[in-house]
Structure 1
Amino acid sequence: MRAFRVAYDGRPYHGFQRQPNVPTVEDAIFDALRGLGVLAADAGAPDGYAAAGRTDAGVSAITQTVAFECPDWLTPRAFNGELPEHVRAWASADVHDAFHATHHATSRAYDYHLYAPTADVDRAAAALAKLEGTHDFADLTAASDDDTTRTVETATVVREGDVLRVHVRADGFLWELVRRLVALVRSVATGDRDLDAVDRALATEPLPDHERVGPAPPEPLVLVDATYPEVAFERDDEAATSATTVFESAHATAVSRARVTSALRDGVDAPSADTDDSPR
């Protein structure tokens, strides 16, 4: 059995887990294994297969972890030979036959890159501090699970220019928990809600529907860690370099596009003095 660390840009996909008739990251992984002859054409999944988590549509990952039975020659660089370029394996570890990538993760961590130039970072930090610890998060999830109690180990925020990077680590995450948590924190940080709104969201008494917060957009969310204390992943330098090159190229394209939209915004907001508005 081998576990792989996989990074991906989730924005072109309808989430990690397979769904009918739409592209998912899991489909890309299984298609690559079929192309390599590791997975039979008629097989649903490799023997022993499991993944660290099921990211939503548009959510990306640095350390998504998948484990399954495979031949010794399947290294991250060999895996990348069949994976699409925006899905990159970059590290691996041999694990025992009973290893389960979902159940054996002791914690997971996400970063949310929140564009919030006017938000008060101290108010955001105060809101996040209230969310640390063991709570019933029934009012901050779209899940219908009977057990909505989770332990948030750390919840922190740092300002990086116009962006607040919100970091949350927990023993497990409910559906949309991070995105709803971020939306709540943003509303407190911008003054739209008071700090007591966090306490009300964590209280035993359910919130009325008009007070519940919806999820923040998925695209700024990244799975940054899945922790396995007894597993030592070995970085594949060639595979990691391939991943860095792919994502650097995507970053350069995104920066260029952002500059164009900024120019459009600024041009419409403050037209230059020599603009000729006369009809032609």
Structure 2
Amino acid sequence: MKRAFRIAYDGRPFHGFQRQPDVPTVENELFAALATLDIYDPVSESRPTGYSAAGRTDAGVSAIAQTVTFECSEWCRPVVFDSELPRSIHVYASTEVTDSFHATHQASSRQYRYLLMESSLEAERARKAAMRLSGKHDFQNFSLDTTGTVRDVSITVESSPPFLVLSVVAGGFPRQFVRRIATVIRGVASGMRDIDSIDTLLAGPVRGEHGVAPAPPEPLFLAAVEYPECEFTIDSQAHSRAVEAIETQHQQDRLEAGVRAEIAESLRATADQ
């Protein structure tokens, strides 16, 4: 049988999703877990039979709805798969799919979300920039790619203090696309970039100092991948374990951020003396 699995992960410890030699990646960990479970033999097979994935996230990018599929036995359920993975990767849902199912090609849409700190940004300017960027355009200035840059995208901005949350939906994305979109929207929202510069970026090649650099990867996550023919079933045990691990990491991150805030405040107080 062939199953598709939903996977969430914290991308910060990894050099991206795709398997690479000599560096930690999410796919390396998935394949190692499947080898431990005897789902595939890494000596004789390059990857599990029937394997495909919804997308390839960059180094530092996280995910809620990464989706992988492969042939496996009935007993390979999320809780079993999850048990062989590090606590930064979580398999929490699955569904049976047809033998021809391909996680990349059969996704009808993908949604990425990017968080911006709201304090120094004007939300209405961000929304106007998002509207200007939405629709079908050649986004050649928003990617490393030189082909496949014509895309039809929907971009929205919502306020969720202390963040502005960018939501970008399309059938697929060229490399670094959402991160460069985030750079432009942040520039417009902060007043550092005129909104009419978007028209220039969409009109033709813009290089050098007037081009668009990618925003940092850590505030970006793959939020949704839609398959109209699939209905995923949550594995309650694996799901609970994922929530617990993520909440624990969140508390640790808050503590570490608190330490940095205390240090910054102490340094400011020293300067005022």
Q: How many residues align?
A: 271
Secondary structure (helix, strand or coil) at the match of 2:237 reads: helix
**1:1-12 equivalences in 2 (<5 Å):** 1-12=2-13
**Cross-structure match for 1:66:** 68
- Aligned AA (2:22): N
**1:214-233 equivalences in 2 (<5 Å):** 214-233=213-232
Q: CA deviation at 1:55?
A: 0.1
State whether structure 2 residue 251 is matched by structure 1 residue 252.
Answer: yes
Q: Distance in 2 between matches of 1:92 and 1:58?
A: 25
Kept in 2, the 8 Å contact 1:8–1:87? The answer is yes
User: Which of 75, 80, 83 is equivalent to 1:81?
Assistant: 83
Q: CA deviation at 1:260?
A: 1.2
State whether structure 2 residue 132 is matched by structure 1 residue 127.
Answer: no
Q: CA deviation at 1:208?
A: 3.5
Q: Distance in 2 between matches of 1:150 and 1:91?
A: 30
- Aligned AA (2:152): T
Kept in 1, the 8 Å contact 2:155–2:166? The answer is yes
Q: Distance in 2 between matches of 1:208 and 1:86?
A: 37
Alignment TM-score, normalising by the size of structure 2 = 0.96
**Cross-structure match for 1:117:** 119
User: Which of 138, 141, 166 is equivalent to 1:139?
Assistant: 141
Q: Distance in 1 between matches of 2:256 and 2:271?
A: 21
Q: CA deviation at 1:116?
A: 4.2
Secondary structure (helix, strand or coil) at the match of 2:14 reads: coil
**Cross-structure match for 2:197:** 197
Secondary structure (helix, strand or coil) at the match of 1:167 reads: strand
Q: CA deviation at 1:272?
A: 9.8
Q: CA deviation at 1:85?
A: 1.2
Kept in 1, the 8 Å contact 2:118–2:161? The answer is no
Secondary structure (helix, strand or coil) at the match of 1:187 reads: helix
**Cross-structure match for 1:177:** 177
Q: CA deviation at 1:271?
A: 4.1
Q: CA deviation at 1:210?
A: 2.0
Cα deviations across residues 36-80 of structure 1 (Å, max 9, x unaligned)?
Answer: 111113122111100000000000000000001011100000001
Q: Distance in 2 between matches of 1:223 and 1:164?
A: 16
Kept in 2, the 8 Å contact 1:151–1:172? The answer is no
Secondary structure (helix, strand or coil) at the match of 2:216 reads: coil
Q: Distance in 2 between matches of 1:208 and 1:27?
A: 35
**Cross-structure match for 1:13:** 14
Cα deviations across residues 191-228 of structure 1 (Å, max 9, x unaligned)?
Answer: 1110011111111x211422111000001100000000
Using the aligned pairs only, state the percent identity: 45
**Cross-structure match for 1:234:** 233
Kept in 2, the 8 Å contact 1:184–1:213? The answer is yes
Q: Distance in 2 between matches of 1:166 and 1:266?
A: 30
User: Which of 46, 56, 59 is equivalent to 1:57?
Assistant: 59
State whether structure 2 residue 98 is matched by structure 1 residue 99.
Answer: no
Kept in 2, the 8 Å contact 1:108–1:169? The answer is yes
Q: Distance in 1 between matches of 2:87 and 2:46?
A: 23
Q: CA deviation at 1:229?
A: 0.6
- Aligned AA (2:254): V
- Aligned AA (1:91): A
RMSD between aligned residues: 1.4
Kept in 1, the 8 Å contact 2:136–2:150? The answer is yes
Secondary structure (helix, strand or coil) at the match of 1:265 reads: helix
Q: CA deviation at 1:123?
A: 0.4
Secondary structure (helix, strand or coil) at the match of 2:24 reads: coil
Secondary structure (helix, strand or coil) at the match of 1:23 reads: coil
